[in-house]
């Protein structure tokens, strides 16, 4: 079971009544001026709180930190997160109706336009060629939209007769990569290009001769570990961050559609026969549905 710990300041506030006198001084000082505490070392903090330096060390260890440096790092991260959500609270919570619909639609439209501008036909063709010839295609993503788009990629490519496997499990990703060979392709989705399991899988896969294609930020660690990079941009500066879903998945889905279309064209009749077989199997389950697209 995953346990989500309280923040440092929340923990201090909750335990303030049970602290010893010296510890309470430290706690009260941190609660009253947490930003200032980030700029202090143990000596200056102890002087400001009017306690000894060993008291400071004991106090941060009581909070679960190994020492004062780790405490400062955690406090800085917590304050940064607090500022983000304070901004969210100051955003426009009254946006609704057609204005909200328009903003979400504009965000999606801008994302697709940026993706189209960044797409390179030569790279799409090269990636499609890898998929057509590969022994097995691995589609990876972790977290929110990237894992969902990886699942969609598997759903699209298996229909064309490409042996496809999707995983969002970090352990399985690394294990699959360790068994890869030169005829395998890894199609990895990540908006940031930083998740550790994806970086590890990419490195391992390439060390075994497999090709790695990433749909990610151009200047990310994942891009550096890839043979081919199909760039996503993330939210544009004018895109509201608050209350709106990330538009990155529109870019990711467009890229999947472009690769899938090129793969189908390259395979020609072979892909059409695969789709026909799938449609026949589905028709046996629920009868013919002529209004349903053959590719879905």
Instruction: Tell whether 166 and 37 lie within a shared domain.
Output: no
280 and 158 belong to one structural domain: yes
In this prediction, residue 238 carries a pLDDT of 45
**Residue 51 shares a structural domain with residue 129:** no
Same domain, 66 and 178: no
Instruction: Answer for the pair 218, 210: CB distance below 8 angstroms, yes or no.
Output: no
Considering only residues 234 and 32, tell me which one the structure prediction assigns the higher pLDDT. 32
Range name among 57-61, 106-110, 238-242, 257-261 with the lowest pLDDT average: 238-242
Residue 54 belongs to domain with CATH number: 1.10.10.10
Helix or strand or coil: residue 136?
Answer: strand
Neighbour tally for 275: CB within 10 Å: 17
- Given pLDDT bands bounded at 50, 70 and 90, which one contains residue 89? low
Q: How far is CA 99 from CA 94, 246, 250, in A?
A: 10, 17, 20
Last residue of a domain, one of 68, 87, 106: 87
Q: How far apart are CA 139 and CA 147, in angstroms?
A: 9
Question: Is the torsion defined by CA of 140, 163, 232, 193 positive or negative?
Answer: positive
Show the domain range for 221.
Answer: 98-284
How confident is residue 3, by pLDDT bands cut at 50, 70 and 90?
very low
CATH assignment at residue 201: 3.40.50.10490
Tens-place pLDDT, residues 250-274: 999 999 999 999 999 999 988 888 8
56 shares a domain with 14:
yes
* Whole-number Å distance between alpha carbons of 51 and 39: 18
User: What tens digit of pLDDT does each residue of 116-159 get?
Assistant: 988 989 999 999 999 999 999 999 999 878 999 999 999 999 99
Same domain? 109 vs 159 = yes
Residue that is last in its domain, among 87, 118, 149: 87
Residue range 190-218: average pLDDT?
A: 95
Q: Does 115 lie in the same domain as 60? A: no
Q: Residue 214's beta-bridge partner residues?
A: 188, 229
Are both 36 and 120 inside the same structural domain? no
Count of domains observed in the chain: 2
Say if CB 242 and CB 92 are below 8 A apart.
Answer: yes
Q: Are residues 172 and 114 in the same domain?
A: yes
Cβ-Cβ contacts under 8 Å for 238 (sequence gap 6 or more): 110
User: Which domain-ending residue is among 87, 112, 128?
Assistant: 87
Distance CA 168, CA 273 (A): 30
Examine residue 196 and state whether it is found in any structural domain, yes or no. yes
Query: Domain for residue 291, yes or no?
Result: no
Is 277 found in the same domain as 136?
yes
Give the separation between CA 103 and CA 239, rounded to whole angstroms: 8
Are 104 and 247 members of one domain? yes
In a domain, 184, yes or no: yes
Angle between helices 42-49 and 53-62 in degrees, nearest 10: 100
Give the position of tokens 């349903």.
292
């Amino acid at each position: 079971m995953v346990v989500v710990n309280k923040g440092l300041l929340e923990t201090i506030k909750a335990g303030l009544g049970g602290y010893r006198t010296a510890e309470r001084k430290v706690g009260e000082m941190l609660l009253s001026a947490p930003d200032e505490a980030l700029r202090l070392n143990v000596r200056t903090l102890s002087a400001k709180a009017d306690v000894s330096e060993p008291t400071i060390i004991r106090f941060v260890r009581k909070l679960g930190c190994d020492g004062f440096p780790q405490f400062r790092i955690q406090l800085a991260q917590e304050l940064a997160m607090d500022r983000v959500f304070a901004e969210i609270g100051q955003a426009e919570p009254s946006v609704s109706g057609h204005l909200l619909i328009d903003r979400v639609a504009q965000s999606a439209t801008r994302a697709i336009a940026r993706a189209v501008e960044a797409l390179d036909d030569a790279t799409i063709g090269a990636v499609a060629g890898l998929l057509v010839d590969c022994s097995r295609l691995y589609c990876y993503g972790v977290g929110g939209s990237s894992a969902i788009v990886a699942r969609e990629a598997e759903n699209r490519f298996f229909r064309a007769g490409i042996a496809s496997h999707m995983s969002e499990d970090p352990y399985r990703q690394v294990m699959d990569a360790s068994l890869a060979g030169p005829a395998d392709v890894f199609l990895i989705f990540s908006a940031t290009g930083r998740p550790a399991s994806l970086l590890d899988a990419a490195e391992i896969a390439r060390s075994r001769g497999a090709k790695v294609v990433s749909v990610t930020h151009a200047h990310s660690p994942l891009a550096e570990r890839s043979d081919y990079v199909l760039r996503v941009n993330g939210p544009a500066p004018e895109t509201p961050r608050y209350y709106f879903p990330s538009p990155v998945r529109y870019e990711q889905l467009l890229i999947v559609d472009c690769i899938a279309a090129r793969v189908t064209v390259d395979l020609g009749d072979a892909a059409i026969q695969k789709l026909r077989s799938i449609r026949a199997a589905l028709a046996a389950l629920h009868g013919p549905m002529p209004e349903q697209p053959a590719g879905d």
